[in-house]
Amino acid sequence: MYRRQFLFATASSLVVSAYSGLPSIAGSASARITYFDARPGARSRDIAFAPDGSVWYCGQRDGTLTRLDPSNGALHPVSLGGGSAPHGVVWGPDKSFWITDGGQNAIAF
């Protein structure tokens, strides 16, 4: 599921719940929330989901793109180079991640 689809589905569910008296997602018997630690000091932000189930997020302060393996919580940071300050990440149409990089004033993929 792409980030936009996830956000739309979540927001839609919350709006429907609020107006129809149905339980919210968090109160659903089938909902499960799992928390993972992010890398300290990375200033983690913006996530994207890969088809293999991994979660990728930007480390704006340390110039990284980090892969989270949700099966075991392992983090695998990838340096984007000196001066990098990634802000957003999406799964692109070419089946790779596209990153907006404010530090480089660029789009990387």
The 10 Å Cβ neighbour count of residue 67 is: 16
The yes-or-no verdict on residue 19 having pLDDT over 50 is: no
Write out pLDDT tens, residues 42-76: 888 889 999 999 999 999 999 999 999 999 999 99
More confidently predicted of 29 and 70: 70
Q: What percent of the chain lies above the pLDDT cut of 90? A: 47
Q: Across the strands, what pairs with 75?
A: 68
What pLDDT is attached to residue 34?
84
Which domains does the chain show, CATH number per domain? 34-108 (2.40.10.500)
For the segment 23-45, the average pLDDT, to the nearest whole number, is 76
Whose structure tokens read 């793109």? 65
Query: Model pTM?
Result: 0.68
Amino acid residing at 90? V
In the chain, % helix, strand, coil (3-state, to 5) comes to: 15, 35, 50
Instruction: Give the 3-state secondary structure of residue 58.
Output: strand
